[in-house]
Amino acid sequence: MIAPLPTPVRVSILIAVRNGEGTLGPQLSALLKQTYEGPIEIVVADNGSTDATRALVEQMADTTSTPVVVVDAGARTGAPFARNCAARYASGDVFLICDADDIATRSWVAEMVASLGSHEFVAGA
């Protein structure tokens, strides 16, 4: 049996990234335009970037009321390690994981949360 989700559901979006300066901006922009009406935070785990990934995240964080943070995940290379670093920081009731080079549809968060109301785990193409 699935435990009921709180209302509203607090969502943490986790993004592992390494040298994503060229792709992360459009994804963050898309995530900041979601139709979901509950609280959202975006946690970007910087996995040892040598480009301006961190500066990009910090600049975008300054332009929105949605919490957008970058955490250091450079101690070990790899997306799983970076996602775990983001998860340790995150405060949401549910975690949604996406990549820096994705571009989420406007309803992505709302649809994922709705699906989590009746499934323990959901994924999308």
Distance CA(90)–CA(41), nearest Å, equals: 8
**Which residue numbers in the chain have pLDDT < 70?**
1, 125
Angle between helices 53-61 and 24-31 (to 10 degrees): 20
pLDDT at 3 (0 to 100): 79
- The letter for the amino acid at 1 is M
Check residue 5 and give its pLDDT: 86
* The predicted structure's pLDDT at residue 94: 96
> From edge to edge, which strands make up the β-sheet containing 40-46?
68-72, 40-46, 11-17, 94-99
pLDDT for 4: 83
How confident is the model at residue 1, as a pLDDT? 64
> pTM for this one?
0.95
